[in-house]
């Protein structure tokens, strides 16, 4: 539904050139919710603005619904933009218009007759839960309500694609959840393809099917959300995941930990259970079959989409050869094992 081919964006030229987006390929299939996550300044805003040509790419081609937007005349581009809705971090509602008139705006721009506008706006207000607010002005609404109006407005022209530019970043966690539920609902009910950019893992976790990680104007990693949350391939991906899961060894342990094993040390491991391994009683088998003791320091279970992710930080206590056998045992299962360091046995 959305395809970017070698799209790049450079501001300025010569030595002062800023490569906001390096040549990037992206494909979002029909009906998918695709997230792009990155730190601020990573180029995610530029990326999403290149899709509806709010930013004209310096090179490359942009396709939406089989139509090459980068090849269109300004007039044809305006027509094509009716099929691409967009919502923003700061909502961008017109303060001079009521809720109803804000939602009606894209239809007015398309030249839809007044009576038909009324017929088309009403169901959108119902979908977004705004029927009792239609005469209110944006200044009278809360942040979440404003974003609902923006969503209704973006859907008014019956787009095939919805672009979400940090749509929940200005909202509190509770409101964020309700807006994400609404987006999920729209995706299911209308089969709308959604591309969103965010810096929040929570957003990716709760609604995305696939996710891209952007850094320095480049998509450095792309994966199904389940995979990304269980086995990110890049260091930045792992950093995002760890920050999200907040699963780092306790500070006291970190201070005692050394990188190399010593004479009387045992390893501290981080285990990520995913896929089939989640259901297995691995720890008790480890204790029984490999004859090592397991001291669990931290553990947590997350469910992502339909998958479960278990995370654990533990010390493995036993003789070196038993620990070696235990690690082999763990590695033989669908389990990510990372030795974080070693601590003195009797410390």
Partner 1 sequence: MSNAMLELILKATLDTLYMVGLSGLVAAALGVPLGVMLYITRPGQVLARPLTNRILGIVTNVGRSIPFIILMVAIIPFTRLIAGSSIGTNAAIVPLTIAAIPFVARLVEGALNEIPPGLIEAAQSMGATPYQIIVKVLIPEARGGIITGLTITLVTLISYSAMAGAVGGGGLGDLGIRYGYNRFDPLVMLITVVILVVLVQGFQSLGDALVRRADHK
**Measured from the CB of residue 148, what is the shortest distance to partner 1 in angstroms?**
15
> Which of 92, 169, 178, 305 is the binder for partner 1 (CB under 8 A)?
92
Alpha-helical (H) ranges within 92-249 are 99-110, 114-127, 143-155, 173-190, 201-207, 225-230, 235-245
**Nearest-approach distance from CB 51 to partner 1, in angstroms:** 10
Closest approach of Cβ 124 to partner 1, in Å? 14
**Whole-number minimum distance, CB 191 to partner 1, in Å?**
21
Within a 10 A sphere around the Cβ of 344, how many other Cβ atoms?
13
Q: Where are the beta strands (DSSP E) in the chain?
A: 2-11, 18-28, 33-37, 59-64, 67-68, 84-87, 161-165, 193-198, 210-215, 218-224, 265-273, 293-304, 307-317, 335-344
- The residue range among 100-108, 116-124, 208-216, 234-242 that interacts with partner 1, by the rule CB under 8 A, is 100-108
Fill in the per-residue mask, 159 to 188: x = in contact with partner 1 (CB under 8 A), - = not in contact: ----x-------------------------
Near partner 1 in 134-163, by CB under 8 A: 137-139, 153, 157, 163
DSSP state at residue 260 = S
Q: Which of residues 102-141 bind partner 1 (CB under 8 A)?
A: 105-106, 108-110, 137-139
Unique residue bearing structure tokens 């396709």: 63
95 binds partner 1 (CB under 8 A): yes
Binding residues for partner 1, rule CB under 8 A, total 30
Smallest distance from partner 1 to CB 47, Å? 15
CB 45 within 8 A of CB 88: no
Could you tell me which residues come within 8 angstroms of residue 248 by beta carbon, excluding any fewer than 6 positions away?
242, 254, 313
Instruction: Single out the segment in contact with partner 1 by CB under 8 A; choices: 6-14, 91-99, 208-216, 334-342.
Output: 91-99
Smallest gap from Cβ 79 to partner 1, in A, equals: 6
Decide whether 57 or 226 has the Cβ nearer to partner 1: 57
- Cβ proximity to partner 1, 111 vs 281, nearer residue: 111
CB of 69 to partner 1, least distance (A): 11
Residue 87 or 186 with smaller CB distance to partner 1: 87
Count the Cβ atoms, other than its own, within 10 Å of residue 56.
11
Residue closer to partner 1 (CB basis): 43 or 249:
43
Q: Which residues contact 29 (CB under 8 A, 6 or more apart)?
A: 1, 193
Number of Cβ within 10 Å of residue 236's Cβ equals 19
Residue 108 or 172 having the CB closest to partner 1: 108
Tokens of 228: 């990304």
> What's the distance, CA 99 to chain centroid?
29
Of 88, 172, 85, 93, the C-alpha closest to 136 is: 93
Residues 30-89 touching partner 1, rule: CB under 8 A, are: 52, 54, 75, 77-82, 84-86, 88
Q: 297-304: which pairs have CB atoms within 8 A and are 24 or more residues apart?
A: 297/249, 297/250, 297/253, 297/268, 298/247, 298/249, 298/250, 300/245, 300/247, 302/205, 302/229, 302/245, 304/205, 304/225, 304/226, 304/229, 304/230
Given the complex with partner 1, which of 76 and 254 has the nearer CB atom? 76
330 token code pair = 């763990």
Q: How far is the CB of 142 from partner 1 (least distance, A)?
A: 16
Measured from the CB atom, is 156 or 316 closer to partner 1? 156
Interface residues with partner 1 (CB under 8 A) are 52, 54, 75, 77-82, 84-86, 88, 90, 92, 94-97, 105-106, 108-110, 137-139, 153, 157, 163
């Amino acid at each position: 539904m959305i395809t970017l081919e070698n799209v790049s964006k450079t501001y300025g030229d010569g030595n002062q050139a800023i490569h906001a987006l390096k040549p990037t390929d992206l494909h979002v299939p029909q009906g998918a919710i695709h997230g792009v996550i990155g730190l601020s300044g990573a180029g995610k805003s530029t990326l999403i603005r290149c899709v509806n040509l709010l930013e004209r790419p310096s090179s490359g081609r942009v396709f939406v619904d089989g139509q090459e937007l980068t090849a269109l005349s300004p007039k044809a581009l305006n027509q094509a933009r009716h099929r691409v809705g967009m919502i923003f971090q700061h909502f961008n509602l017109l303060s001079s218009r009521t809720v109803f008139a804000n939602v009606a705006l894209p239809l007015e721009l398309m030249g839809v007759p007044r009576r038909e506008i009324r017929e088309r706006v009403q169901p959108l207000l119902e979908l977004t839960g705004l029927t009792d607010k239609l005469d209110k002005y944006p200044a009278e609404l809360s942040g979440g309500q404003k974003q609902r109006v923006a969503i209704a407005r973006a859907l008014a022209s019956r787009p095939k694609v919805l672009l979400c530019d940090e749509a929940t970043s200005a909202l509190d966690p509770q409101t964020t959840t309700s807006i994400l539920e609404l987006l999920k609902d729209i995706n299911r009910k209308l089969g709308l393809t959604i591309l969103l950019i965010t810096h929040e893992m929570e957003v990716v976790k709760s609604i995305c099917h696939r996710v891209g990680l952007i850094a320095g104007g480049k998509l450095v990693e792309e994966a199904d959300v389940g995979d990304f949350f269980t086995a990110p391939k890049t260091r930045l991906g792992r950093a995002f995941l760890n920050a999200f899961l907040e699963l780092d060894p306790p500070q006291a342990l970190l201070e005692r930990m050394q990188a190399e094993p010593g004479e009387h040390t045992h390893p501290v491991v981080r285990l990520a259970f995913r896929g089939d391994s989640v259901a297995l009683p691995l720890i008790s088998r480890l204790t029984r079959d490999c004859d090592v003791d397991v001291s669990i320091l931290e553990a947590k279970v997350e469910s992502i989409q339909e998958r479960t992710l278990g995370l654990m930080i533990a010390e493995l206590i036993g003789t070196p050869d038993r620990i070696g056998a235990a690690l082999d045992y763990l590695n033989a299962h669908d389990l990510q094992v990372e030795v974080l360091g070693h601590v003195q046995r009797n410390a």
